Amino acid sequence: LRGEAIGTLPAATRAGYVFDGWYTLPSGGTEVTPTTVFNEDADIYAHWIQADTASINGVNYATLALAIRAVPSNGTPTIITLIRDATENVTIPAGKNVILDLQNYTLSSNTTVSILENSGPLRIINGTITSNGTAAAIDNQSGGYLYITGGTITSTATRQAIYNYGGGYVEISGTAYLSSTASGARNGSSMERGTVQNLENGIMRILGGTIVGQVQQAVSNEGYLNIGNDDGSVDTSTPVIRGETCG
């Protein structure tokens, strides 16, 4: 009402941003509070601060992609920590050595490209990576070295949790948990879309963790695959593979 305190203001949310209050101008202006008095009709504007997503040695970055860009290209191992849940698709180029500590947050996407496309050394610990789109959660490409020692990697759509090809190297160990609801031909009749799929001279070592194939195979292999200890035996307790293997 004109001439009276405006009272309760509406809540505002925006993905990837922190609400910084209502103001009289789109940029700058005077903050509007429940005690603000207007004597005529007025528009008010939400102000936002972009939320940081990732951190390197205490330096925060607005997106995971910007943090990866800051990693040196000389192979120096660099720890990137996720500091909030994020929805992003990023690439680890050759020459960048990334240790991605998800810190129990979730990195997700529902697009037609993988959440992580890796061509360099990449180690994943803690947290969750989940794809709801039409691509594998992690695409490990030629020259990529992917180590999953903890956390949860899932695909809840039509593709793999891990797709390894072209001579890429994947090692799964520790407390890692991988699952996929990838659809297609029935178990045992197709090499496609296992929870972890190893193709085209890809190298995969499964030393620990749990791999679950909910519709397709847990493990689908057309490359080089080692399951268990270096001496060739398979431990009775780890790794745990729930579902068929193929290839």
pLDDT digits (tens, 9 = 90+) for 182-209: 765 544 444 567 899 998 789 999 999 9
* Unique residue bearing structure tokens 């190297």: 169
What pLDDT does 185 receive? Answer: 53
Which residue's structure tokens are 């909910």? 214
The whole model's pTM is what? 0.80
Measure the CA angle with vertex 211, ends 208 and 212; round to 5°. Answer: 160
Residue 148 carries which side chain, given as an amino acid letter?
Answer: I
When pLDDT is averaged across residues 147-173 and rounded to a whole number, the result is 91
Q: Do 222 and 190 contact (CB within 8 A), yes or no?
A: no
The contacts of residue 34 (CB under 8 Å, 6+ apart) are: 5, 6, 7, 8, 9
The backbone torsions φ and ψ at residue 184, rounded to the nearest 5 degrees and listed phi first, read 140, -150
Residue 234 pLDDT: 60
Distance, in Å, from the CA atom of 143 to the CA atom of 224, rounded to the nearest integer, reads 15
> pLDDT by residue (tens digit) across 77-128?
999 999 999 999 999 999 999 999 999 999 999 888 999 999 999 999 999 9
**Distance in angstroms (rounded) separating the CA atoms of residues 168 and 189:** 25
Confirm if 207 and 237 have CB atoms less than 8 A apart.
no
| Percentage of the residues of the chain whose pLDDT score is greater than 90 | 59
- Predicted confidence band of residue 15 (pLDDT cuts 50, 70, 90): confident
Q: Under 8 Å CB-to-CB from 95, ≥6 apart: which residues? A: 73, 74, 75, 120
Residue 16 vs residue 99, higher pLDDT: 99
Encode pLDDT of 133-152 as tens digits.
888 999 999 999 999 999 99
Q: Picking from 38-47, 114-123, 221-230, which range would have the lowest pLDDT averaged per residue? A: 221-230
Q: Where are the alpha helices (DSSP H) in 104-206?
A: none
Say what the pLDDT of residue 152 is: 96
Asked if the model's pLDDT at residue 236 lies above 60, the reply is no
Checking if the pLDDT of 246 tops 80, the result is no
Q: Does the pLDDT value for residue 233 go beyond 80?
A: no
pLDDT at 237: 65
